[in-house]
Amino acid sequence: MAFLIIKSACIVALNYTIHVENDIIILMPEFDLAILGGGPAGYVAALRAAQLGAKVALIEKDKVGGTCLNRGCIPTKALITCTNFYEKIQKAQDLGIKVEKISLEVTKIFQRKKQIVERLVKGVEFLLRKNQVELIWGVGKILAPNKIEVRDQNENRFEISSKRLILATGSSALPLPGANFDHERFLSSDDLLEEKLLPKKLNIVGGGVIGIHFAFIFSTLGSEVTIYEIQPEILPECDQEIVKNFKKILAAKKIKLLTSTRFDPKQTSDPTLICIGRRPNLSGLENLPLKIENHRVWVNEKMETNLPGIYAAGDLVSNKMFAHVAFEQGIVAAENALGKNRIFSYEAIPYALYTIPEIAGVGYTEKQAQEKFGEIKVGKFPFAALGIAHAQGETEGFIKVIADQNNKILGVHILGANASELLGSATIAIKNGLTVKQLGEVFQAHPSYPEGLQEAALNALKKSLHIIS
């Protein structure tokens, strides 16, 4: 930390805040921009602001990278990569490969996850240092619009001043009423990311992305998994036809799914993962008269709160709690805080599940498109009609393209191998307002999975060549 701490009765300071505590004078640099929270929104905002020449302070109480890097996206994908690969090896005989006596070394799987996370955290810290971002470790509390108090792990308190402020305090897992997290019986996703529990039976409350990922991981590790979902359907972000087909995959993996079912904590003593949603972290922001809507901090399209000069980004404000949303919001907030004019839009937000097979989508689902636009066009292409899918033994699933009556692409939804990779082209198409005609006219390498995206677009126009339109 580049603060000057000295004992002196008289001192002259330029561009520093003087703070006195226990006869210690702490000279605190004044910043152009201070960011509270070092998760995806916060650290990316810090890097972008530094690129623009600002003097930036980033305040973080734990580890940079936030939930996504330390306790979410990355560690779960590290685990599910291992379990998915194990499942594929079990099917190697279908490819003419004889494999005997394969087994899972759970300790090594979790060690690998830990090493990946540590490596990436160090990478983020390196980027911050190289961009001359002042990384301040401690718990931040907003005292005034341009002043933040920080309490470090030794309970030392000091203040920093800043011309502008970005709030990026993230979110925390919601507990279930009557089943508060005790880290033994009632678990958060944090608990299951540590190799201290491999239950014979595992209940999962919540059929969203987090619940489905952990269901796949622990089912492969040998647990008997039951998913409880209070809503009539799982995966509310997904297209209903995708979900209908995916439920057959869950059944084939012997993952028990109970929809329209309220979990009763009194009916079981088995370990239970609670993943029913997340709530924004508002602690430390109490001194700001922020506008709150639906438990989130309100921001406009420029990511500015109702208080001029104070911006917010990430799970604190977002109705789509994805790391890639937080990244973009952090960039928009940083640029606007430094005088630029950027706008954030929720249009064309992609999502992906790294199951076997994968699920991915962007834009309107078929039901949403029908409700908003009335008559629509839908084109589908099965993986079973793709040469590359047969060659690689990945014939399960399909690609769906949804367009309006003017052929503008409204949504793309995929169940199948490499869905998350195919999604990139689909997102570009929707973001740039392309039509199914334009997508269908872009011929792809053969054999390849993108051929399926082209064929689905052609199918929406009744021009598909490799299936009957």
Of 282, 308, 286, 306, give the one whose Cα is nearest residue 295. Answer: 282
Q: Other C-beta atoms within 10 Å of 391: how many?
A: 11
Identify the helix (H) or strand (E) that includes residue 411: strand 409-416
Per DSSP, what are the bridge partners of residue 362? 412
Among residues 316, 335, 340, 421, the alpha carbon closest in space to that of 40 is found at 316
User: Which residue in 115, 111, 33, 117 sits closest to 68, CA to CA?
Assistant: 117
Catalytic residue flag (residue 324): no
DSSP secondary structure, 384-397, as one string? GG-HHHHHTT----
Cβ density class 419-437: b for 16+ within 10 Å, e for less: bbebbebbbebbbeebbbb
Can you tell me the distance from the alpha carbon of 47 to that of 129, in angstroms, rounded to the nearest whole number? Answer: 10
Both tokens of 79, joined, read 């685990």
Q: Copy the structure tokens of residue 124.
A: 């983020």
Q: Are 279 and 296 in contact (CB under 8 A)?
A: no
**DSSP line for 108-166:** HHHHHHHHHHHHHHHHHHHHHHHTT-EEEESEEEEEETTEEEEE-TT--EEEEEEEEEE
Which secondary structure element, helix H or strand E, spans residue 76, and what is its range? helix 73-90
Q: What stretch of H or E contains 276?
A: none
Q: Are 97 and 89 in contact (CB under 8 A)?
A: no
| Under 8 Å between Cβ of 35 and 164 | no
Could you give the CA distance from residue 168 to residue 140 in angstroms, rounded to a whole number? 11
Peptide bond preceding 40 in cis form (omega within 30 of 0): no
In whole angstroms, what is the distance from residue 166 CA to residue 317 CA? 12
Unique residue bearing structure tokens 């930390």: 1
Catalytic residue among 390, 413, 446, 466: 446
Taking a C-beta distance cutoff of 8 angstroms, is the pair 364, 402 a contact?
A: yes
272, 180 in Cβ contact below 8 A? no
Task: Report how far residue 420's alpha carbon sits from residue 417's, in angstroms, rounded to the nearest whole number.
Answer: 8
Q: Which residues are catalytic?
A: 446
